[in-house]
């Protein structure tokens, strides 16, 4: 039977020769991910099970990333519970403050995400790791407590949707613009509990950082997972890390898909998602001249090194508008260090930006950049729901690092190609 990559991975993890969409399976988990906000609540549920030790402390990855450093007493308590659990269970793959980073970026950076494995995390954007050819999905604290205890998790095998991307990307058009276009086409429920598989000539040419953006925002269409078949670029990214031959799983040519979309990206323009859904997409030129109070370059969809390099190219020898705040947040400590070595942080500082320690903070309206009443922000983050970044009257526009950086200079939303 021909299968998609998602079906092959789930079949292998369940010890089956094949699976079909809709089938309920019990999968063996390869990596379990959690962070400061939900590690504590998951640990509490695990302890209530009366089990002394987790199934495999080597397969659990923990890092603080939402409230970094702890912003109040409540978040400090979350840290305490997280560290208690880590120490008690002997979790070696713990990345504390100072070695931390946004968890979805850490998984690939530290080479936990690999082709052919099953990854679960207590965060909906765990699907980011699908760019490595893994099945990666977010789960709740109760399910994760069960994973901690047994190393297994049940899934309904999702149907798959194939997105074949072809053509050539224009200047200042990036993966963020591509996924926003896809969301505008299918809507925020267009892939509900389905696997979004990205393929085609464009994918072959995308660096891994850009592939991560596509898979990350699959969840914004309601998908169970986003995934890309592993190739030579995937293996190059792993840089010598051993990947077992049986894990080199790819979709069969004759695999059955629920839907297929063929998208020529050649006509795409720099785009923004306007309030209050990621699927409300317009070209930047359709909405330019909207004044902004804050610009954010960071998060799991905009804080990687390639994003910082792009932003620095735009900001070099320029100044952030006097009535606009620019917050730059490298996604991990390693990225922060590399950006420092390359002089990117100096460019940001000279432009008038504030540079934060790695954190998800402003993305969820939690820390390091909350919006006030009626304020407007343009950001590289992945959600623009009402009140997402602060006051419920604030407005959020989602865009690429290039568009956000250019808008910070202008003080209003602007196409990066129009910045003089």
Q: Are residues 232 and 284 in the same domain?
A: no
Each residue of 395-415: pLDDT tens digit? 999 999 999 999 999 999 999
CA 395 from centre of chain: 21
Average pLDDT on 269-278 reads 97
Give the per-residue pLDDT at 245.
Answer: 47
Q: Are residues 286 and 230 in the same domain?
A: no
Helix (H/G/I), strand (E/B), else coil: 150? helix
Each residue of 291-348: pLDDT tens digit? 999 999 999 999 999 999 999 999 999 999 999 999 999 999 999 999 999 999 999 9
Q: Please state the length of the chain.
A: 420
Find the domain containing 403 and state its range: 272-418
d(CA 403, CA 315): 11
Q: Kindly tell me the burial class for residue 36, based on how many C-beta atoms sit within 10 Å of its own C-beta (0-12, 13-18, 19 or more).
A: buried
Q: Are residues 282 and 153 in the same domain?
A: no
Which ranges of 110-190 does DSSP label H, i.e. alpha helix? 141-150, 175-186
Q: Are residues 281 and 345 in the same domain?
A: yes
DSSP string computed for 313-371: HHHTT----TT-EEEE--SBHHHHHHHHHTTHHHHHHHHT-EE--S--GGGGTSSS--B
Per-residue pLDDT band at 244 (split at 50, 70, 90) = low
Q: Are residues 230 and 188 in the same domain?
A: yes
Percent of the chain with pLDDT over 70: 98
Give the per-residue pLDDT at 242.
Answer: 56
Angle at 301 between CA 128 and CA 378, to 5 degrees: 150
Q: Are residues 171 and 23 in the same domain?
A: yes
d(CA 125, CA 129): 9
Instruction: Pick the closest to residue 319 from 416, 408, 379 (CA basis).
Output: 408
Q: Are residues 287 and 239 in the same domain?
A: no
Q: Are residues 312 and 393 in the same domain?
A: yes
Per-residue pLDDT band at 247 (split at 50, 70, 90) = low
Q: Are residues 258 and 320 in the same domain?
A: no
- Non-local CB neighbours of 18 within 8 Å, separated by 6+ positions: 1, 3, 7, 11
The two three-digit tokens of residue 374, written as one number: 């009626």
Each residue of 25-62: pLDDT tens digit? 999 999 999 999 999 999 999 999 999 999 999 999 99
Q: Are residues 282 and 259 in the same domain?
A: no
Give the per-residue pLDDT at 241.
Answer: 60
Specify which residues 60 forms β-bridges with: 32
- Non-local CB neighbours of 21 within 8 Å, separated by 6+ positions: 7, 157, 158, 159, 160, 258
Angle at 188 between CA 300 and CA 288, to 5 degrees: 70
Peptide bond into 276 cis (omega under 30): yes
Q: Are residues 126 and 239 in the same domain?
A: yes
Residue ending a domain, choose from 224, 243, 263: 263
Give the per-residue pLDDT at 243.
Answer: 57
Average pLDDT on 247-263 reads 93
DSSP string computed for 14-56: TT-S---TT-EEEEEPSEEEEEHHHHHHHHHHHHHTT-SS-S-
Each residue of 108-164: pLDDT tens digit? 999 999 999 999 999 999 999 999 999 999 999 999 999 999 999 999 999 999 999
Contact 115, 248 (CB under 8 A): yes
Q: Are residues 47 and 151 in the same domain?
A: yes
Residue ending a domain, choose from 230, 263, 296: 263
Asked whether the predicted pLDDT for residue 186 surpasses 50, the reply is yes
Q: How many domains does the chain have?
A: 2
Give the per-residue pLDDT at 271.
Answer: 98
Residue ending a domain, choose from 263, 287, 312: 263
Contact 418, 311 (CB under 8 A): no
Give the per-residue pLDDT at 420.
Answer: 72
Largest Cα separation within the chain, whole Å, is 64
CATH of the domain at 308: 3.30.499.10
Average pLDDT on 238-243 reads 68
Kindly report the three-state secondary structure assignment for every residue of 214-231.
HHHHHHHHCCCEEEECCC
Per-residue pLDDT band at 246 (split at 50, 70, 90) = very low
């Amino acid at each position: 039977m021909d299968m998609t990559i998602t079906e092959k991975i789930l079949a292998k993890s369940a010890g089956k020769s094949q699976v079909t969409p809709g089938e309920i399976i019990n999968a063996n988990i390869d990596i379990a991910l959690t962070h400061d906000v939900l590690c504590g609540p998951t640990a509490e549920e695990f302890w209530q099970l009366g089990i002394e030790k987790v199934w495999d402390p080597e397969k659990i990855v923990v890092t603080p990333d939402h409230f970094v450093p702890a912003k109040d007493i409540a978040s400090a308590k979350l840290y305490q519970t997280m560290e208690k659990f880590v120490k008690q269970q002997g979790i070696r793959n713990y990345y504390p403050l100072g070695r931390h980073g946004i968890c979805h970026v850490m998984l690939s950076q530290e080479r936990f995400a690999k082709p052919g494995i099953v990854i679960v995390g207590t965060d909906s954007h765990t699907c980011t790791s699908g760019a490595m050819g893994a099945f990666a999905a977010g789960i709740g604290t109760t399910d994760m407590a069960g994973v901690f205890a047994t190393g297994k998790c049940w899934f309904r095998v999702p149907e798959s949707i194939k997105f074949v991307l072809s053509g050539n990307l224009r200047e200042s058009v990036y993966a963020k613009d591509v996924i926003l276009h896809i969301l505008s086409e299918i809507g925020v429920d267009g892939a509900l509990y389905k696997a979004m598989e990205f393929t085609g000539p464009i994918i072959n040419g995308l660096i891994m950082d850009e592939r991560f953006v596509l898979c990350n925002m699959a969840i914004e269409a309601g998908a169970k997972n986003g995934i890309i078949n592993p190739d030579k670029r995937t293996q190059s990214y792993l840089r010598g890390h051993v990947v077992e031959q049986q894990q080199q799983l790819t979709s069969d040519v004759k695999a059955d898909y629920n839907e297929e979309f063929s998208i020529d990206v050649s006509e795409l323009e720099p785009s923004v998602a306007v309030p209050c859904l990621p699927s409300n997409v317009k070209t930047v030129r359709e909405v330019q001249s909207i004044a902004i109070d804050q610009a954010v370059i960071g998060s799991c969809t905009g804080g990687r090194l390639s994003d910082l390099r792009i932003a620095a190219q735009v900001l070099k020898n320029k100044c952030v508008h006097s009535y606009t705040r620019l917050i730059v947040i490298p996604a991990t400590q390693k990225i922060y260090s590399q950006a420092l070595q390359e002089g990117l942080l100096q460019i940001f500082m000279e432009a008038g930006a504030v540079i934060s320690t790695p954190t998800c903070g402003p993305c969820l309206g939690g820390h390091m950049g909350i919006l006030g009443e009626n304020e407007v922000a343009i950001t590289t983050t992945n959600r623009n729901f009402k009140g997402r970044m602060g006051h419920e009257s604030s407005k959020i526009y989602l865009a690429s690092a290039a568009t956000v950086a250019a808008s910070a200079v202008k003080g209003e939303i602007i196409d990066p190609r129009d910045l003089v």
